């Protein structure tokens, strides 16, 4: 069982899906190479000897833009089709039983623990990914960990993170996201929000962080369920937050209210394939403790232009959610569901055996009312006959 980023890279190497790249420049070159390889379904990339940085301070990219990496991260066999993956995840979801994380006193992430004047986030070779990005985004393959101040529920999600200075990060989380709701609760109490940001970890942690689990459901517990064992975590003393014991780089600190401190953030090339917004003030995190392993690996998963499959778990999870909700609404004879388009969430395709006049229209109308796959970021809902594979756009 893979437990960290290094084990994942070793597994890709065994499958002939890892390419080491030396002497690349963090300024646009790494981002360009990553995008070209993603478009070509090329191998995962491990950049070393990066311009201006010592050997061993590395960046791993393109881990999840190809089917080998996608299925390896999620525990699917390479032979499974996309619809078989949806069916498997649908059954897992029905049987879900939480497996909480396991607290340990020590782990590889604590090989280097930096505080005070020793903190310098620039020590890692963070790329500038896209030409017009507003700065260097260390948080693309990131999991951002927060705790609800009312219930104690620990959540993690993926939100873009831009370096501001040696000890300050700006992070954008859109309205309604769990981290947004949590930090606003702290600010309403007159407190800064504790935050831990992990910039290199087992890709399954990242994969689960990109999907929308229900409020109150811990992502750590879901990862433990998939793996069949609890994720090992250590507790950061400053924030009290659990961080993956085998992570590569973790920054822990506090996010004050925007009235106290906010910084210019953006623009950033987003999953839609364009710059969705300009520069604006966003909340920040002041780093109090910076952890990293020896010879750390920064995990980069920047958005690339559609139709490249950027976040594999999203179509699998969204299709499963939509399928389950349709069945709960007593929509009969749904044979398959899949989602396509930018960010793998714009186009929902539903395969069904039509039983009565208006059946397909009823299914499509109902699907459009559900948040995932419909009302949130969905733009098109297509119904097809039962002999069409909804994951195959050529058939659709």
pTM of the model: 0.93
Q: Say whether both 145 and 254 belong to one domain.
A: yes
* pLDDT value of residue 1: 73
Q: For residue 181, give the 3-state DSSP assignment.
A: helix
Those residues whose C-beta lies under 8 Å from the C-beta of residue 330, and which sit 6 or more positions away, are none
Q: Say whether both 178 and 108 belong to one domain.
A: yes
* Residue 251 belongs to a domain: yes
Q: Say whether both 130 and 268 belong to one domain.
A: yes
CA distance 138 to 315: 25
* Residue 354 belongs to a domain: yes
297 secondary structure, DSSP code: E
Structurally, how many domains does the chain consist of?
3
* pLDDT value of residue 313: 67
CB 312, CB 74: distance < 8 Å: yes
Q: Say whether both 177 and 252 belong to one domain.
A: yes
Q: Which of 57, 81, 105 is the last residue of a domain?
A: 81
Q: Say whether both 53 and 164 belong to one domain.
A: no
Q: For residue 336, give the 3-state DSSP assignment.
A: strand
Q: Say whether both 281 and 142 belong to one domain.
A: yes
* Residue 92 belongs to a domain: no
* pLDDT value of residue 312: 61
Q: Say whether both 263 and 365 belong to one domain.
A: no
| Cα torsion through 211, 303, 292, 185, rounded to 10 | -50
Give residue 47's region: left, alpha or beta (phi > 0; psi -120 to 50): beta
Give, for 19, the enclosing helix (H) or strand (E): strand 18-22
State how beta strands 297-299 and 58-61 pair: parallel
* pLDDT value of residue 242: 99
Residue closest to 9 by CA, chosen among 329, 364, 295: 295
Q: Which of 299, 322, 342 is the last residue of a domain?
A: 299
Q: Which of 299, 327, 359 is the last residue of a domain?
A: 299
- CA 330, 315, 373: angle at the middle one, nearest 5? 50
- What's the CATH number where 221 sits? 2.30.110.10
* Residue 304 belongs to a domain: no
- Whose structure tokens read 């690349």? 24
Q: Spell out the per-residue pLDDT of the chain, length 396, in tens.
A: 789 999 999 999 999 999 999 999 999 999 999 999 998 889 999 999 999 999 999 999 999 887 888 888 888 888 899 899 999 989 888 899 999 999 999 999 999 999 999 999 999 999 999 999 999 999 999 999 999 999 999 999 999 999 999 999 999 998 889 999 999 999 999 999 999 999 999 999 999 998 888 899 999 999 999 999 999 999 999 999 999 999 999 999 999 999 999 999 999 988 777 887 889 999 999 999 999 999 999 999 998 887 776 656 678 888 888 898 899 899 999 999 998 876 667 889 999 999 999 999 999 988 888 755 555 676 789 999 999 999 998 899
Q: Say whether both 368 and 228 belong to one domain.
A: no
* Residue 277 belongs to a domain: yes
CA distance 166 to 124: 11
Give, for 29, the enclosing helix (H) or strand (E): helix 29-39
* Residue 285 belongs to a domain: yes
* Residue 305 belongs to a domain: no
Q: Say whether both 74 and 145 belong to one domain.
A: no
> How does DSSP assign 60-103, residue by residue?
EE-SSSSHHHHHHHHT--TT--HHHHHHHHHHHHHT------EE
Q: Say whether both 229 and 151 belong to one domain.
A: yes
| Cα torsion through 38, 39, 40, 42, rounded to 10 | 0
Q: Say whether both 249 and 148 belong to one domain.
A: yes
Q: Say whether both 340 and 286 belong to one domain.
A: no
CA distance 146 to 232: 17
Tokens coding 309:
């499959």
CA distance 60 to 301: 9
The range of the structural domain enclosing residue 32 comes to 5-81
- What is the C-alpha radius of gyration for the chain, rounded to an integer number of angstroms? 21
CA distance 207 to 58: 21
């Amino acid at each position: 069982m893979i437990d960290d980023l290094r084990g994942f890279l070793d597994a890709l190497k065994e499958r002939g899906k890892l390419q080491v790249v030396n002497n690349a420049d963090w300024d646009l070159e790494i981002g360009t190479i990553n995008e070209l390889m993603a478009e070509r379904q090329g191998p995962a990339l491990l950049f070393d000897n990066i311009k201006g940085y010592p050997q061993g301070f590395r960046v791993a990219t393109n881990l999840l833009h190809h089917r080998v990496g996608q299925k390896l991260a999620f525990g699917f066999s390479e032979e499974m089709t996309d619809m078989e993956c949806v069916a498997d995840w649908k059954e897992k979801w029905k049987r879900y039983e939480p497996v909480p994380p396991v607290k340990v006193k020590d782990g590889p992430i604590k090989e280097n623990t930096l505080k005070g004047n020793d903190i310098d986030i620039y020590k890692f070779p963070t790329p500038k990914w896209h030409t017009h990005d507003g700065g260097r985004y260390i948080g693309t393959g990131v999991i951002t960990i927060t705790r609800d101040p009312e219930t104690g529920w620990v959540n993690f999600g993926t939100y873009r993170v831009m370096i501001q200075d040696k000890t300050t990060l700006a992070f954008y989380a859109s309205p309604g996201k769990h981290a947004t709701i949590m930090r606003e609760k702290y600010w309403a109490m007159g407190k800064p929000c504790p935050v831990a940001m992990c910039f290199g970890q087992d890709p399954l942690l990242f994969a689960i962080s990109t999907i929308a689990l229900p409020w109150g459901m811990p992502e750590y517990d879901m990862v433990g369920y998939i793996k069949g064992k609890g994720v090992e975590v250590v507790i950061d003393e400053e924030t009290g937050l659990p961080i993956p014991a085998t992570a590569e780089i973790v920054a822990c600190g506090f996010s004050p209210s925007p009235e106290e401190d906010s910084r210019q953030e953006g623009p950033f090339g987003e999953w839609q394939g364009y710059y969705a917004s300009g520069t604006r003030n966003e909340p920040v995190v002041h780093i109090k403790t910076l952890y990293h392993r020896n010879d750390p690996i920064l995990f980069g998963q920047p958005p690339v232009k559609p139709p490249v499959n950027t976040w594999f778990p999203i179509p699998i999870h969204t299709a499963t959610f939509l399928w389950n909700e349709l069945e709960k609404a007593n929509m009969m004879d749904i044979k398959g569901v899949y989602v396509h388009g930018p960010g793998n969430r714009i186009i929902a395709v539903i395969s069904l055996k039509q039983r009565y006049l208006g059946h397909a229209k009823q299914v499509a109308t109902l699907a459009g009312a559900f948040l995932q796959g419909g009302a949130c970021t969905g733009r098109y809902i297509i119904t097809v006959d039962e002999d069409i594979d909804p994951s195959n756009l050529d058939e659709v």
